[in-house]
Amino acid sequence: MEALRKKIPLTLPQNTVKIIRIIAALLLLALVIVRAIDVAAESQFGADTWLRLSVSGLIIGGMYALIAIGYTLVYGILFMINFAHGEVMMIGTFGGYFVFEAFNAIQVTAADGSQMSFLNANPVIAVFLAFLAGMTIAALSGYFLEKIAYRPLRGAPRLVPLISAIGASIFLQNAGQLLFGPQRRQYINPVVLDRGIGWHVELAGSTVVLTYTGIFSLVLSAILMVGLYVLVQRTKLGRAMRAVAQDKKTAALMGINVDQIISRTFVISGALAGAAGVMWGIHNGLFNYFVGFLPGIKAFTAAVLGGIGNIPGAMLGGMFLGIVESLGPAVLGIDFQLKDVIAFSILILVLIFRPSGILGEALSEEKV
């Protein structure tokens, strides 16, 4: 058998594969550049459009980044892709929505004697509670997801929890549809956070609106990312998470409760996805049970792009993907509806050419 294998080269030599890959990558790059120059020569878009697209890319990118962190944290610790993570975000979106909904229904008398909803009378409290609710319920979903769908499969071959994850994802989507219906709902924001209003920036003779919802989301994403980074690098919980990610057996010998740390990792990942879910609702408005699907896959792309398992990588990957899919159609002169195609092309290209991602190290089996 061995001898037979040696005689028939089933695969090309490693070097040839590498060279073919590099040539293909260069050709692709050249194609993109030529196309971009072509489009730029037509100068279809002004500086205002570029600014608008960049900002909206950053905003969406921040949300991708928050979700991508969850993929990366879970992968880092369990070496599995939590494909139900997008649904955890969806649950967060609903959590925030119902808080706004409830507060909108409560009428209060304002200081000047007029009647208004609690939502508009106390927007800061309402937004705070919407995030609190969205993050909490998403965190709980993450917690139970791990307990029910993944923990019993610990130690099974790696494909098994992956299938369970896909099953959990479909289950949660269907549960969402059953509970809340298939119809699209609209986030009812407090008036001060109305979609579309914002700061006006004059650029090249036209006006760009930096929406309050967008800038708010971007700032909150940044705060949460810094918070997470500090948690992982500086706190005892963070150190335990890193220890469990590096070596579970030894972590247990240090007195770390490994199962508890895994649970907490899912809770943290869920909370961040929940925050992204509420932002999604506040910023984009329309959503239904399916809202987590695309952001979920794109955040997964972002995590792979940044090197799965690598936290700063997930953050950068998310921001990068947001910007690329926002600017991409304009740069390439294609329809804006094709932005999803750009995101998925990137996923495929990264998987082919650099599966370890931009910041990632080569995946080692020893960690498993």
Interface pattern 203-222 for another protein (x via CB under 8 A): --------------------
Contact 326, 57 (CB under 8 A): yes
What SS3 string covers the chain?
CHHHHHHCCCCCCHHHHHHHHHHHHHHHHHHHHHHHHHHHHHCCCCHHHHHHHHHHHHHHHHHHHHHHHHHHHHHHHHCCCCCCHHHHHHHHHHHHHHHHHHHHHCEEECCCCCEEEHHHHCHHHHHHHHHHHHHHHHHHHHHHHHHHHHHHHCCCCCHHHHHHHHHHHHHHHHHHHHHHCCCCEECCCCHHHCCCCEEEEEECCEEEEEEHHHHHHHHHHHHHHHHHHHHHHHCHHHHHHHHHHHCHHHHHHCCCCHHHHHHHHHHHHHHHHHHHHHHHHHHHCEECCCCCHHHHHHHHHHHHHHCCCCHHHHHHHHHHHHHHHHHHHHHHCCCHHHHHHHHHHHHHHHHHHCCCCCCCCCCCCCCC
Minimum distance from CB of 246 to another protein (Å)?
5
Closest separation in Å from C-beta 236 to another protein: 7
Of 244, 262, 266, residue with least CA distance to 253:
244
Residue nearer to another protein on the CB measure, 154 or 239:
239
239 binds another protein (CB under 8 A): yes
Binding mask 37-76 for another protein (x = CB under 8 A): ----------------------------------------
Is the CB of 76 or the CB of 86 nearer to another protein?
76
CB of 140 to another protein, least distance (A): 24
Q: How many residues line the site for another protein (CB under 8 A)?
A: 17
Q: How far is the CB of 250 from another protein (least distance, A)?
A: 4
The residue (of 10 and 253) whose beta carbon lies closer to another protein is 253
What is the smallest separation between the CB atom of 262 and another protein, expressed in angstroms? 13
Instruction: Give me the least distance between CB of 255 and another protein, in Å please.
Output: 3
What is d(CA 163, CA 367) in angstroms, rounded to the nearest whole number?
21
Rounded to a whole number of angstroms, the minimum distance from the CB of residue 241 to another protein is 12
Torsion of CA 248, 253, 256, 262, to 10 degrees: 20
Query: Residue 3 or 253: which CB sits closer to another protein?
Result: 253
Q: Draw the binding track, 6-35, toward another protein (x: CB under 8 A; -: no contact).
A: ------------------------------
CB of 253 or CB of 368, closer to another protein = 253
Structure tokens of 302? 């972002």
The minimum distance between CB 71 and another protein, in angstroms, equals 20
Q: Does 151 bind another protein (CB under 8 A)?
A: no
Each residue 241-280 as x (binds another protein by CB under 8 A) or -, in order, gives: -xx--xx-xxxxxxxxxx----------------------
Rank residues 109 and 257 by Cβ distance to another protein and give the closer one.
257
Judged by CB under 8 A, does residue 232 bind another protein? no
SS3 for 171-240 is HHHHHHHHHHCCCCEECCCCHHHCCCCEEEEEECCEEEEEEHHHHHHHHHHHHHHHHHHHHHHHCHHHHH
Q: How far is the CB of 261 from another protein (least distance, A)?
A: 10
By beta-carbon proximity to another protein, the closer residue of 214 and 309 is: 309
Residue 241 or 275: the one with the smaller Cβ distance to another protein is: 241
Instruction: Based on the shown chain and the rule CB under 8 A, indicate whether residue 240 belongs to the binding site for another protein.
Output: yes
Q: Is 236 an interacting residue with respect to another protein (CB under 8 A)?
A: yes
Among the listed ranges 43-51, 104-112, 236-244, 266-274, the one in contact with another protein (CB under 8 A) is 236-244
State the nearest-atom distance from the C-beta of 310 to another protein, in Å.
11
Residues forming the site for another protein (CB under 8 A): 236, 239-240, 242-243, 246-247, 249-258
